[in-house]
Structure 1
């Protein structure tokens, strides 16, 4: 995992920073972990790993 946050604005800022560093966006996986009553929705960036 590269980054995890419950704040959508922080996620966008992190993605912007990766773009500015010229990281290939095809190598990044973005997951949205849906929150429930007790846990907030969380956004996670991790390296994309192709299966095969």
Structure 2
């Protein structure tokens, strides 16, 4: 996860920075967690990991 915030403008600003850094846009995921009446809406920005290291692999080292 890169960012989790309630501020949509903050998400847009971070996306602009990622674009300027030439991060592949197809590797970025944006989730909007709708809170409805109980919780405020939250935005989550994350980046896909192509080949994550499994915890079991780390333990063997």
**Length-normalised TM-score, structure 2:** 0.72
The residue number in structure 1 matching 2:17 is 17
Looking at structure 2, the residues matched to 20 and 28 of structure 1 have their Cα atoms a distance apart, in angstroms, of 14
- Partners of 2:8 and 2:47 in 1: how far apart? 19
CA offsets per residue over residues 1-51 of structure 1, 9 Å max, x none? 11111011111000001001111110111100001223110010112358x
Size of the alignment, in residue pairs?
Answer: 50
Unaligned runs of 5+ in 1: none
The structure whose residues are more often helix, as a share, is: 2
Which structure's CA Rg is the greater one?
Answer: 2
Query: Which of the two has greater strand per residue?
Result: 1
Q: Which fold has the larger relative contact order, with Cα–Cα distance below 8 Å and residues 6 or more apart in sequence?
A: 1
